[in-house]
Amino acid sequence: MSKKSTDTSIDLGRLPGHQIRRLHQIAVAIFLQDTQAHGLTPVQYAAMQAIQASPLIDQRTLASKIGLDTSTMGGVIDRLEARELLQRNKSPGDRRVKLVSLTEQGEAALASIQPAMAKAQERILAPLTSTQQAQFMTLLNILVESNNELSRAPIPRTE
């Protein structure tokens, strides 16, 4: 009687999904280390950046701009509003819709975090040469854009 091999071990370091998950953990850790004095998470930062770029944006559009589902976006907005970094405004066209905008305090917080955020991005890519950094970002953008529709919250394409 021949014994079937039950060895299913896989080198996790060779799995792109595993390595991307690990890189995400590392990127968040670096961001939080470098920006801890500002008390913002990467998602809160992204939301505030998108609001600054599109003042008086509705929650659904904001969520789609940064690739978040709307229920998670609602919690992000609640936390930022509680810290008086943004405010909800009534929509003139639809009373059910709330439009969000940064407060003066939110604008100041976003400006003050920029140097620390930039430092975090540099630290994430620091192990790579400048040529590798450019190649990595090109390849990363190809992967994200090509697989966008598979996301729980795909970002609408702008053509």
The confidence score (pLDDT) of residue 47 equals 98
Predicted local distance difference test score (pLDDT) of residue 5? 63
Q: Average pLDDT of 34-56?
A: 96
Candidates 3.40.50.150, 1.10.260.40, 1.10.10.10, 1.10.8.10; correct CATH number of 37-120? 1.10.10.10
Give me the mean pLDDT over the 10-35 stretch: 96
Reported confidence tier of residue 7, pLDDT bands at 50, 70, 90: confident
- Please check the confidence at residue 1 and state whether its pLDDT lies above 90: no
Query: Is 80 exceeded by the pLDDT of residue 139?
Result: yes
Using alpha carbons, select from 98, 6, 24, 37 the residue that is nearest to residue 67: 24
Q: Are the beta carbons of 157 and 148 closer than 8 angstroms?
A: yes
